[in-house]
Amino acid sequence: MFDKLEDLLHRFEEIMNELSEPTAAGDQKRFTALMKEQAELNPIVEAYKEYKKCKQDIEDSVSLLESESDDDMREMLKEELAGAKKRVEELEERLKILLLPKDPNDDKNVIVEIRAGAGGDEAALFAAEIYRMYLHYAESKRWKVETMEMDEIGIGGMKSVTFMISGSGAYSVMKYESGVHRVQRVPETESGGRIHTSTISVAVMPEAEDVDVVIDEKDIRIDVCRSSGAGGQCVNTTDSAVRLTHMPTGIVIYSQTEKSQIQNRAKAFALLRTKLYDLEMQKAHDAEAEARRSQIGTGDRSEKIRTYNFPQGRVTDHRINLTLYKLDKVMDGDIQEIIDACIAADQAAKLLKMNEAS
């Protein structure tokens, strides 16, 4: 581990020297790549520098203890030594986590797809509430949200909704939301006061770029049609909606949220690329079943990951046995505590597997 850390420290110094050159900004592509690498290495380098300082402090304290005869001074040195040893242990664990293999998709934007499952209208209403929960969360992170597809029902619910979240590290955080979300509550239409259970599914996919997926247009059937909806300028009056059918997989994408056919086409192709990329990722996960099981919430989308119990005001994440009694805040977008716990559990599982392998 420490050989690798020395190599990374050396690489960091090389980058800093290159960035300090007067001509560094001349090649914008190279400059951007160096800045990104510098930002990725900075937390590791800072932790490693502090680790080396603490190790030196330990050596200095031990050396001084051997030659010091004053009792008060010796007591102070012992306290400093104990503090430095404790900090070294903390930094070793932190460095192990920082050196864990990084998901290459972590820095990407995400496309989130929410679908109502069992429960009829109640599931559709809950899908709309989870959609708003993610909107509030994205707003708190200053991320941009763009709706791509939406199938609403008349009472304010959604059969399905697909939207993109654009922001630094969006996938690294949102990937833990993939799975089945269950709600337990008394629906407004229930006269007997019985608690109903409904479900929705959430799929979180990293946005695919052109380099990730190559689409052969011979495999695509493109249909244009009138947008459906509540009407308004251009809606229902022009053939602006676009439907893509990918023949090899049977994936169908329908985009009508924009007034322009060109914009809807661009959105549809972006979503198709992401779905095809996600399909390849799922195949890779299936081929690595053991690795998939060791991950927290980034594998099987049929897994029930969370229950929202309204009568008790609680949220339970079943993957990590976490229960919070602040349902109102969670539904208003305050999900960071749950996500942080998922990240910590995921890192702990990966560390355990790494230690077992070594």
Could you tell me the pLDDT band of residue 289, with boundaries at 50, 70 and 90?
A: low
Three-state SS letters, the chain: CHHHHHHHHHHHHHHHHHHCCCCHHHCHHHHHHHHHHHHHHHHHHHHHHHHHHHHHHHHHHHHHHHHCCCHHHHHHHHHHHHHHHHHHHHHHHHHHHHCCCCCCCCCCCEEEEEEECCCCHHHHHHHHHHHHHHHHHHHHCCCEEEEEEEEECCCCCEEEEEEEEECCCHHHHHHHHCEEEEEEECCCCCCCCCCEEEEEEEEEEECCCCCCCCCCHHHEEEEEECCCCCCCCCCCCCCCEEEEEECCCCEEEEECCCCCHHHHHHHHHHHHHHHHHHHHHHHHHHHCHHHHHHCCCCCCCCCEEEEEECCCCEEEECCCCEEECCHHHHHCCCCHHHHHHHHHHHHHHHHHHHHHHC
pLDDT single digits (tens) 251-268: 888 888 777 888 888 888
Q: 0.75 exceeded by the pTM?
A: no
Q: Which residue segments constitute the domains of the chain, with CATH numbers given?
A: 2-98 (1.20.58), 110-209+288-351 (3.30.70.1660), 217-282 (3.30.160.20)
Q: How far apart are CA 45 and CA 32, in angstroms?
A: 20
What was the pLDDT predicted at 127?
95
Q: How far apart are CA 249 and CA 167, in angstroms?
A: 30
Q: How far apart are CA 270 and CA 119, in angstroms?
A: 31
pLDDT single digits (tens) 25-44: 788 888 888 888 898 899 89
Which is more confidently placed, 294 or 46?
46
What mean pLDDT is predicted for residues 177-189?
A: 88
What was the pLDDT predicted at 65?
85
